[in-house]
Amino acid sequence: MANMCQITGKRIMVGNRVSHANNRSKRRFYPNLMKKTFYIPEEDRNITLTVSTTGLRTISKIGIYKALKKAREKGYFTK
């Protein structure tokens, strides 16, 4: 899935661009996504994920193995 964090499930959001004269037109809010490679010691392999900066914080707090387990339960990560 393009433009989606594989850990937190963040996607593109849609909103309004509002001018000084209060004219409204549609715009998109993109999540801050980046490709990162992580080493999983329990499985002894590397994995490449598309994660947001919030996803990186989650991984650093609870660990990559628990983060992947939660993402699989929620359906964000399917491998």
20-79 pLDDT per residue, tens: 999 999 999 999 999 999 999 988 999 999 999 999 999 999 999 999 999 999 999 887
1 in a structural domain: no
Residue 33: give the domain boundaries.
13-74
Binning pLDDT at 50, 70 and 90, where does residue 1 land? low
Relative to beta strand 33-40, strand 45-52 is antiparallel
33 in a structural domain: yes
Residue 6: pLDDT above 80? yes
What is the count of structural domains for the chain? 1
- Tell me which amino acid residue 77 is: F
Binning pLDDT at 50, 70 and 90, where does residue 2 land? confident
Select from 61, 4, 8 the least CA-distant residue to 31. 4
45 in a structural domain: yes
Select from 13, 45, 33, 3 the least CA-distant residue to 68. 45
42 in a structural domain: yes
CATH number of the domain to which 53 belongs: 2.30.170.40
Q: How many CB atoms lie within 10 A of CB 54?
A: 14
Select from 53, 61, 55, 59 the least CA-distant residue to 40. 59
